[in-house]
Amino acid sequence: MIATPTTTVSIWSHDALTVDDYDDPVPDDTPTAVGVPASIIEQNHTVNTHADGRNQIIRTYTCRLPAGSATPVRLRDETTGDIYLVDAVTQPANPHITNNSRCDLRRAS
């Protein structure tokens, strides 16, 4: 991992499906990976809405995971217990090394 880890996370991915009695896929609430080192950074952005002319503070969360980690749909910070929904996953290109996966997060709890 290139980024300095700030915590460890549990990952739920798209692959976390099981089948029910009728062989239909159903979500499985078992994490795909546990104890994965991660860097979760919170940033505040001030946005001015022209409709009412007031400033609003928006919090955004960015997570860096080691390259090759399962593609997450949900993360749980094992230190704080916070749960995040994953909006987007990208892996910035680099011709020399494999970069960390970058996840845009929304805090769910």
Read off the pLDDT of residues 59-94 as tens digits, 9 standing for 90 and up.
999 999 998 888 888 999 999 999 999 999 998 888
**CB 50: neighbour CB atoms within 10 A?**
6
How many helices (H) and strands (E) would you count in the chain?
0, 8
| Among the four given CATH numbers 2.60.40, 1.10.1060, 1.20.120, 2.40.10, the one describing domain 7-107 | 2.40.10
**CB 28: neighbour CB atoms within 10 A?**
13
pTM of the predicted model over 0.85: no
Domain limits, the chain: 7-107
| Side-chain-side CA neighbours of residue 51 (13 Å) | 1
